[in-house]
Structure 1
Amino acid sequence: MCGIAGIFHLDTPKPVDPARVTMMTDVLAHRGPDGSGVWTAPGVGLGHRRLSIIDLGGGAQPMIGEDGRIAVTYNGEIYNFAELRAELQGLGHVFRTDSDTEVILHGWRQWGVQCLQRFHGMFAFALYDSGRQCLFLARDRLGVKPLHHARLSDGSLIFASELKGLLAHPLLRRAPDVRAVEDFLGLGYVPDDSCIVAGVEKLPAGHYLLLERGKGMAAPICWWDVDFSRRANGSARALEEELTERLRQAVRSRMVADVPLGAFLSGGVDSSAVVALMAEASTQAVKTCSIGFDQADLDETRHAEQVAARFATDHRKRIVAADDFALADRLADAFDEPFADASALPTYRVCELARETVTVALSGDGADEAFAGYRRHRFQHAEERIRGFLPGALRSHIFGGLGAIYPKADWAPRPLRAKSTLLGLARSGEEAYALAVGVTTPALRQRLYTDETRHLLDGHRAEARIEAAMRSAPAREPLDRAQYADLKIWLPGDILTKVDRTSMAVSLEAREPLLDHRLIEFAASLPVSMRLRGGEGKWLMKRAMRRYLPDDILYRRKMGFVTPISAWFRGALSGEAERIARGAALAETGWFDRVALENVVRAHLSGRSDHGRLLWQLMMLDKSLTRLFGMGR
């Protein structure tokens, strides 16, 4: 895994100072501690930081074609590079290395932009072709690897794996975008179509950007999308066998490395499935690792140990304190933009543990999005059945009225917290699901904002993009639409950002076999009943894994990485809560009503309301504003 950065002049080939490219790559050293390189030509500069995984001696970058016409800087892995190399050699191409990077050079020469359709893997790369005077930026199908870019006042475009790479360029103007703040508060992360630094863009997953000198700025082109509108044929048994084989292929393709390789093992269905298939394919004990907590109700290590024993893995675990919030500052540095998914803390710790013995680790991310594994999918499916029986106006009258009078009971057992369900049934499926995926409600956000902020936002809502994605989804049924929105927005914005930044912060490559695009396409074609049945998500996947895993692993209640943030803000972080109420960087922006902030803090500290997630959001936003814009110092 690596970090990339570069500069491209769109209109005239002005000289590029190699020192500026070096500045941009130096701040990405954590992504590539094994080597660095810079290449410049008239009007272009490419930079690279390398974490050596394949062809340790011959894969240095930026890599230049033999005739000097094409150069590439690349972050990621192309898992079918050996097959593509053989095909290209059959077409007359001569290779000088054994790296997958060289396949990109020859693939572009042979197939142009269509080379992307042939690449199976995770990647973000920049390729310069002097013959065509063009820069080709591309990002993998699901958005596993990131790529940021921005226009500068001197007519150039700069790009980098992380925002900090762009910020290292002295011409990038630093100004916050209040719309990204609305997005962050609504969703808990800044999605890929937004950025906290005004003017910075992220290349969307499954898109490329082809910039030809003298033709100005172009728009990104979508080269891959997931289609939920088609349905696979076959019996449950036949589809189960096909799924099992696709899972095997996805895992085995990601086990190719010239460095030590292992896996994260939480003891949940997804990571256990990956470890089971790794053990089946490996002649040696699979190296696994897990993180446990010193708080019994949060600790899953016994389940991980059960799976490790079943497959005789070389297993390591580490117990960390449940109040491991001291990492917050380190995470703020790693993420650049505010990021409020508190599971980033244990994810960082498990990456840290894995890096002690391996350079590559396989994870179980992606199955919940692909096979309808989240609790919200079950709720959405059930609610849509009710919506199908009652016209919208009647639903709005009945459920809206009940929801308005039903008390909000954060303290009550979950079955008694019906207010949000009732209000959700009064809305359209898209509106209700967008709220279910969100963190801080629109009503609460509006109470926090000043009049000026509401004016600046001009109706911009964090949830609107989710509603739009669901309405335009290539899909048949409501569950299809919900999963499509998850794969296009939640997955790259939250889950993959979390794994990329935490793993790269410790120079670890994380690979996600359950996000193999062929597996995702297959999952999208399954009938809804094969994904969700009897209130059980991932139905066919669990059925397929019965030959490997016991029922107490397959069907136990999903936990994930849980962090007790509400308790933190009534205990060790109560000082941070008070600081939020007083303002700090948040006050300097003028975005928030101080009295409203104080009310939130008082209500939480007194136990009247649970605002733990909101306080965590505000704290991480405060830290990000201080780091990016020098506010609150």
Structure 2
Amino acid sequence: MNRLCGFIERTGPGPNGLVLEALKHSIAGNRPSQDFPGDRWGISLVERRPETAQPGALQECFLRQGPLACVFVGDLHNASNLRNALGAAHTAHAPVEMVLEAYRRFGPSAYTLLEGAFVLFLEDRTKGLYILARDKLGAAPLYFHANDDRLLFASDLGPLLDSGLIQLEPDTKTLADYLTFQFPLGHRTFFSGIRALPPGTLCLIQDGTLHIEKAWRFAWQPLEEAETLYRDRLRRTLDAAVRDTDTLPHPVSHLSGGLDSSILALLLSKRHPALETFAGVYPYGPAYDESLFASKVAAHCSLHHTDIYPGPEDVIRLLPDMVAKLHEPVSDVAFSRYTVAQAARNCAPAAQAVFCGQGADEFFGGYAFYQDFLNDRYAGGLPQQAHQRRRLFSPEQLRAIMQPGNYTRLFGTYDPLAVYRLSFGNSGPILDRAAAADISGFLPYWLQIENRINDAVDLQPRFPFLHHEVRDLAAQIPAHLKIRDGAGKWILRQAFREDLPEDVLDHVKIGFRTPSGIWFKDALFDFACDALFGPNPGRIPGLDLFEPAAVKDMLETNREGRANLGWQIWTILLFKLWFDHYFGGKPCA
């Protein structure tokens, strides 16, 4: 997807060309761009890969017909169905034409007919109405900032942060979320006043008034059908999803050795016999290393496979650059993905798209903690169990590591658990309730991070497991076919039982966590101390949120092997590096 930024004037005399120039400055550079000005708005599109750009491609994203104007950026996956809904008289083929015609026929509710990975803007001058939206699951990112005068928006945080049009301040609620779950709730970012537009919603501005309206909700609709029927449908549907998302030359794919990436590599290899795949490998035993399974899939499918071995030296080398390019503190898993993306770009300079398996865990019961919830491993109801499984620090730990008064400042009037609890339904199977909460909360956030990681190396991520036909099929498959005999993704494993090596299908999911606890014992101990404390171990310069002695004790506890605190140390370290980058020298509290 090409990059996008723009504004809508809510009050005042009309559009200011300097606003659009300020927004696109950080993403345009020497890349081809196209500006589309309106009476009270302006949008700029910027080519992602100038060397492969087609003449007029940006112009094809825009259409004006009388009082209506539309910008559509991304992929429309159900063009044939949309044409049928519009009727035989409609012969348009370009997505922006179909979207505009759908709005003409059905008004804002036309959004529910659109399937794909996209961002759209629509103006209706007869109603004084402007609409911003992105796809239903959040495969395409869109961020916005609203004040009394105008709405600013962009497909990446960079244009908003670098424009000079927004006074940047840390978001204290997001920090509380981060220290609790390591990701923001409520589609906030780490910057106060800048949010991701929630998937499935419309941002409406009419006569200067802004309103965020939910237009689509995911819902489970289980149907009891024969297992063989679901197996066959899964095979066909995933194959079609790969075909629909395989629209750019020279795709590459992640291949961790897990089930999701192995299925994608298998299906892609039928379309691209010379498919290049990449895996990050941490050779610290079976708790970290799935490379054996990745190698088996590569041999089985005749892939051109490359193993990447990130090490502690890569943390020292890449972390400052990663913080600057991803704009927010991120988990150690994001670092692992970032190193593989960098290597994929270096090894495959012509690559334009990378296939990723996001969505499979949520839709098919893949996370190990879903099984824990079914077994009542943790005390309390489902939201409380999910909190105990996902939480980074307990309230008691947070009080211990934060300076006096700061815990109350962050958590005194805000409870991340109470907000998190709202994402869980009150009825239905435990698996469906837990997965639905992740589909509405964690998944959109992780898609943002995946987009930023690949955007940093000019790769466009492709998410076949988010394809609408896969999504709708997963909604029909009963929970008992997703987790069976202690194994997640059971029906997905059965669907490809004859196509992949048996031990690849049956091994337990590992994930792609960085061995940070091991590295902070020795190779990264001095780096972490220097980054956190500088020359003065008695204070954390510029970051008066934490108690230095408590953070130092965490490092020593991890170093001596009394507890593995790598995840917690990583979280504080990344927050410190991020805070220094954007607010260096300014007291956090």
TM-score normalised per structure 2: 0.90
Match of 2:440 in 1: 488
Displacement, 1:630?
Answer: 3.0
Contact 1:4 1:48 in 2 (8 A): yes
Could you say if the C-alpha distance between residues 546 and 118 of structure 1 is closer, same or farther in structure 2, counting changes exceeding 3 Å? same
Alignment of 1:402-421 (within 5 A): 421=377
Aligned-partner Cα distance in 2 for 1:152–1:444: 37
Match of 1:468 in 2: 422
Match of 2:569 in 1: 615
Aligned-partner Cα distance in 2 for 1:107–1:586: 56
Match of 1:407 in 2: none
Match of 2:273 in 1: 285
Displacement, 1:16?
Answer: 1.8
Contact 1:7 1:16 in 2 (8 A): no
Unpaired segments ≥5 residues, structure 1: 384-420
Displacement, 1:14?
Answer: 2.0
Match of 1:477 in 2: 429
Alignment of 1:356-371 (within 5 A): 356-371=349-364
Correspondent of 1:163 among 151, 157, 168:
157
Alignment of 1:429-508 (within 5 A): 429-457=382-410, 458-472=412-426, 475-493=427-445, 495-508=446-459
* SS class of match (1:537): coil
Correspondent of 2:511 among 536, 560, 575:
560
Could you say if the C-alpha distance between residues 454 and 267 of structure 1 is closer, same or farther in structure 2, counting changes exceeding 3 Å? closer
Match of 2:5 in 1: 5
Alignment of 1:293-304 (within 5 A): 293=281, 295=283, 297=285, 298-304=288-294
Aligned-partner Cα distance in 1 for 2:103–2:369: 42
Aligned-partner Cα distance in 1 for 2:284–2:525: 23
Could you say if the C-alpha distance between residues 147 and 631 of structure 1 is closer, same or farther in structure 2, counting changes exceeding 3 Å? farther
1:578-631 per-position Cα deviation (integer Å, ceiling 9, x unaligned) = 242558996535322333323323322333232211111111111111222234
Correspondent of 2:228 among 229, 233, 237:
237
Contact 2:63 2:96 in 1 (8 A): no
Matching of residue 331 in structure 1 with residue 326 in structure 2: no
Displacement, 1:7?
Answer: 1.2
Could you say if the C-alpha distance between residues 349 and 606 of structure 1 is closer, same or farther in structure 2, counting changes exceeding 3 Å? closer
Unpaired segments ≥5 residues, structure 2: none
Match of 1:56 in 2: 54
Matching of residue 227 in structure 1 with residue 219 in structure 2: yes
Displacement, 1:543?
Answer: 0.6
Displacement, 1:207?
Answer: 1.1
Matching of residue 40 in structure 1 with residue 37 in structure 2: yes
Contact 1:39 1:62 in 2 (8 A): no
Correspondent of 1:319 among 308, 311, 330:
308
* SS class of match (1:476): coil
1:93-117 per-position Cα deviation (integer Å, ceiling 9, x unaligned) = 656xxx5344434433343323322
Correspondent of 1:119 among 100, 114, 122:
114
Displacement, 1:87?
Answer: 6.6
* SS class of match (1:614): helix
Displacement, 1:166?
Answer: 1.1
Please tell me the residue identity of whatever aligns with 1:233: E
Could you say if the C-alpha distance between residues 292 and 595 of structure 1 is closer, same or farther in structure 2, counting changes exceeding 3 Å? closer
Match of 2:244 in 1: 253
Could you say if the C-alpha distance between residues 328 and 191 of structure 1 is closer, same or farther in structure 2, counting changes exceeding 3 Å? farther
* SS class of match (1:263): strand
Match of 1:108 in 2: 103
Contact 1:84 1:103 in 2 (8 A): yes
Match of 2:15 in 1: 15
Aligned-partner Cα distance in 1 for 2:468–2:77: 12
Contact 2:542 2:580 in 1 (8 A): no
* SS class of match (2:495): helix
1:553-577 per-position Cα deviation (integer Å, ceiling 9, x unaligned) = 1011222223111122222321243
* SS class of match (1:8): strand
* SS class of match (2:170): coil
* SS class of match (1:27): helix
Matching of residue 146 in structure 1 with residue 141 in structure 2: yes
Contact 2:297 2:501 in 1 (8 A): no
1:23-74 per-position Cα deviation (integer Å, ceiling 9, x unaligned) = 32232349xx853122223321112222369993332148442546444444
* SS class of match (2:497): helix
Matching of residue 526 in structure 1 with residue 477 in structure 2: yes
Correspondent of 1:209 among 181, 200, 203:
203
Match of 1:195 in 2: 189
* SS class of match (1:289): strand
1:221-266 per-position Cα deviation (integer Å, ceiling 9, x unaligned) = 22222213x3212121222222222222222211233x32232222
* SS class of match (1:279): helix
Displacement, 1:194?
Answer: 2.2
Cα-Cα RMSD: 2.8
* SS class of match (2:231): helix
Aligned-partner Cα distance in 1 for 2:214–2:455: 27
Contact 2:72 2:95 in 1 (8 A): no
Please tell me the residue identity of whatever aligns with 2:311: A
Could you say if the C-alpha distance between residues 301 and 523 of structure 1 is closer, same or farther in structure 2, counting changes exceeding 3 Å? same
Could you say if the C-alpha distance between residues 583 and 58 of structure 1 is closer, same or farther in structure 2, counting changes exceeding 3 Å? farther
Aligned-partner Cα distance in 2 for 1:235–1:550: 24
Contact 1:359 1:508 in 2 (8 A): yes
Correspondent of 2:180 among 181, 186, 203:
186
Q: What is the total number of aligned residue pairs between the two structures?
A: 575
Match of 2:26 in 1: 27
* SS class of match (1:547): coil
Aligned-partner Cα distance in 2 for 1:15–1:292: 47
1:330-364 per-position Cα deviation (integer Å, ceiling 9, x unaligned) = 2211221221x212223123323444232012222
Match of 2:266 in 1: 276
Matching of residue 348 in structure 1 with residue 374 in structure 2: no
* SS class of match (2:441): helix
Match of 1:387 in 2: none
Could you say if the C-alpha distance between residues 88 and 27 of structure 1 is closer, same or farther in structure 2, counting changes exceeding 3 Å? farther
* SS class of match (1:610): coil
Alignment of 1:383-398 (within 5 A): 383=376
1:105-130 per-position Cα deviation (integer Å, ceiling 9, x unaligned) = 44333433233222221122323333
TM-score normalised per structure 1: 0.84
Please tell me the residue identity of whatever aligns with 1:293: V
* SS class of match (1:208): strand
1:194-241 per-position Cα deviation (integer Å, ceiling 9, x unaligned) = 222112222111111111134x121x222222213x321212122222
* SS class of match (2:33): strand
1:350-409 per-position Cα deviation (integer Å, ceiling 9, x unaligned) = 3234442320122222111111111101111111xxxxxxxxxxxxxxxxxxxxxxxxxx
Correspondent of 1:544 among 489, 495, 511:
495
1:70-90 per-position Cα deviation (integer Å, ceiling 9, x unaligned) = 444444321233664687584
Contact 1:69 1:130 in 2 (8 A): yes
Contact 2:22 2:164 in 1 (8 A): no
Please tell me the residue identity of whatever aligns with 1:437: R
Deviates more, 1:300-309 or 1:174-183: 300-309
Could you say if the C-alpha distance between residues 279 and 212 of structure 1 is closer, same or farther in structure 2, counting changes exceeding 3 Å? same
Contact 1:344 1:498 in 2 (8 A): yes
